A and B are shown apart, each in its own frame.
Chain A
Amino acid sequence: MKKAIITVLGKDSVGIIYNVAKILSENNINILDISQTIMDDIFTMVMSVDIEKSAVDFGTLSKTLEDKGVELGVKVIICLEEIFNSMHRI
């Protein structure tokens, strides 16, 4: 398993999860966990995914999600999970 974290930040609207999940499904990426909350008045969705069997390379996936974010008026960021673990877990 190769875990990555997708974060969506911005204004809530209909279909954000659907649109992100659609891209993941099309690229053979399994969703492990989803949570969403409002932080400092900003809609925040965090998704844990397994990209080990991804049909596309990381750079392409990242760009596809980013472009979809622009279309939906939100910011979509994907990073490997290790960056968060390294900062917040000893």
Chain B
Amino acid sequence: MLSNYEIVETLNMIEKENLDIRTITMGISLRDCCDSDVKKALTKVYDKITFLAKDLVKTGEDIQTEFGIPIINKRISVTPISIIAESSDVDNYVEFAKVLDKAAYETGVNFIGGFSALVHKGYTNGDRKLIASIPEALSVTDRVCASVNLATTKAGINMDAVKEMGIVIKELAEKTKDKDSFGCAKLVVFANAPEDNPFMAGAFLGCGEPECVINVGVSGPGVVKSALEKVKGADFATVADTIKKTAFKVTRMGQMVAMEASKRLNVPFGIVDLSLAPTPVVGDSVAHILEEMGLEKCGTHGTTAALALLNDAVKKGGVFATSHVGGLSGAFIPVSEDAGMIDAVQCGALSLEKLEAMTCVCSVGLDMIVVPGDTSASTISAIIADEAAIGMVNTKTTAVRIIPAYGKKVGDMVEFGGLLGHGPVMNVSNFSSEEFIQRGGRIPAPLQALKN
């Protein structure tokens, strides 16, 4: 029999500490939807998604009602569209984005990811068309997310793609300028992108994945912070153990929900992404966990060490709690989606440079960073190149989701609303990286990858 204490502990985590399942994401392979006739391809894509995901949202809602655990997002990830669309005889893939958007509305999911291309070693014709279509595709759709993988540890960094993505991001910011360049929040650039990531904007279903699969992303920064409040002043072994135990409990929830969703939808279970994903709500912040460890403000000296401990302990605790781990797994540090990060930027404690250092030890990278609207394309490319280099050399996933907010300058605030929050515009270096970016070509893979 469960003890009253255990039952109340779980209920408190949900009620007071914002424990939730951040997303149930259904991965759908579209590899059988290619067709030289674009109309037929679009119909196949729409029909397949709306058939397989027809019960996804209702199932998520039922599980939430019956188990009492909030399931915040129900989402879909698909095979990178560059692979699907390139059989069709068209020059522009915006119609594919529109059909994904329509399928998202029909199934009721709030985002669909996979308007993507994998170009870490080079472009196919389809990749080229897809990337060129991104600015228009993300400005005429609401729920479609795009991603581009432009570096891996094994292939190096595709600097032609780095250069192009700087231009694409600027163009997208311009096209969505009436919404504070919101389009850029739906686009992420990766190094070492995972094929089973359930989180947006970077979710897509990789080519090694099954026909249809359920991946789940957990959350719970508030739960970790509350647990740490009880070990004030204790040494770091105690801190790490406390985080591990908490992460274990949080992940067990994710595992249970994933198995239940898999059973009810009759779709195989893929992975649980062991993540601490913050939201702008107070009490749901990763920055506040770091501050609870003894830092006056997130971003001060010691922040990278604190984040390294947190990230590692989350994984160690979570790994034992689920049968399959995947996705991004670790602590996210998106600025605009985290009340503590926003505060830290506003009071001058947290800079872009410090965030870059933190990405060496966190699960993703520079996430939801708002920079001045007049930031040049080559500077954005150079920020991407730095981040890709960190991912490439450290054999980890890194990403950049950056918003050069049209017409905004340092110190302004940009409102995205909902889970995407609001972001203070951050300072970037005024010195040029133009000539560096203009070189193009590829940065070779680091030696550590050549282990075969």
Contact = CB atoms under 8 A, between A and B. Distances in A.
A84 B6 contact: yes
B125 interface: no
Contacts of B11: 7, 9, 77
B256 A82 contact: yes
Nearest to B5: A39
Nearest to A39: B8
A46 interface: yes
Contacts of A49: none
B4 A80 contact: no
A84 B10 contact: yes
B253 A37 contact: no
B1 interface: yes
Contacts of B9: 88
Interface in A31-83: 33, 35, 37, 39, 44, 46, 48, 58-59, 62, 77-83
Contacts of B65: 58-59, 62
Contacts of B6: 84, 87-88
A5 interface: yes
Contact of B67 (A59, A83, A89): A83
Contacts of B69: 79, 83
Interface string B238-263: 00000000000100110110001000
A77 B14 CA distance: 12
Given A7-B11, A86-B256, A87-B249, A79 B67 contact: yes
Given A5-B2, A58-B66, A46 B255 contact: no
B233 interface: no
Contact of A86 (B1, B5, B8, B255): B255
Interface string B153-183: 0000000000000000000000000000000
B1 A33 contact: yes
Interface string B357-388: 00000000000000000000000000000000
Given A83-B10, A83-B256, A35 B4 contact: yes
B67 to A, nearest CB: 4
A13 interface: no
A21 B244 CA distance: 39
Contact of A37 (B4, B249, B255): B4
Interface of A: 5, 7, 9, 33, 35, 37, 39, 44, 46, 48, 58-59, 62, 77-89
Interface of B: 1-2, 4-11, 65-69, 249, 252-253, 255-256, 260
24 contacts: A5-B7, A7-B7, A35-B4, A39-B4, A46-B2, A46-B7, A58-B65, A58-B66, A62-B65, A79-B66, A79-B69, A80-B66, A80-B68, A82-B67, A82-B260, A83-B253, A84-B2, A86-B255, A86-B256, A87-B6, A87-B10, A87-B249, A88-B6, A89-B2
